[in-house]
Amino acid sequence: MFTDMKQGTAEDWAHIAAQHGKHQKTQAPKQIMDSLRRLEAIEVGFAANQLTHSLMAATLARRSGASEEEVVAALTHDLGKLFSIPNHGPIAAEMLKPYVSENIYHAVYHHQDFQGQYYYGHLGKPTNLRDRFKNEPWYELAVKLVDEWDAPAFDPDFELDPLESFEPEVTRIFSSPRRM
User: Which is more confident, 46 or 18?
Assistant: 46
Computed on alpha carbons and rounded to an integer, the radius of gyration of the chain in Å comes to 18
Q: Are 21 and 28 in contact (CB under 8 A)?
A: no
Q: What's the whole-number mean pLDDT along residues 67-90?
A: 97
pLDDT in tens, 7-24: 888 898 888 888 887 777
Residues with Cβ within 8 Å of residue 155, at least 6 apart in sequence = 47, 48, 56
User: Which is more confident, 147 or 1?
Assistant: 147
Domains of the chain: 11-171 (1.10.3210.10)
Rounded CA separation 178/180 (Å): 7
pLDDT in tens, 144-154: 999 999 999 99
Phi/psi class of residue 9: alpha, beta or left (left: φ > 0; alpha: ψ in -120 to 50)? beta
User: Which is more confident, 180 or 108?
Assistant: 108
pLDDT over 70 for what percent of the chain? 99
Q: CA end-to-end span of the chain, whole Å?
A: 25
Q: Tell whether the model's pLDDT for residue 178 goes beyond 80.
A: no
Rounded CA separation 153/56 (Å): 5
pLDDT over 90 for what percent of the chain? 82
Residues with Cβ within 8 Å of residue 151, at least 6 apart in sequence = 115, 118
Q: What is the pLDDT of residue 180?
A: 53
Q: What's the whole-number mean pLDDT along residues 54-59?
A: 98
Q: What's the whole-number mean pLDDT along residues 48-74?
A: 98
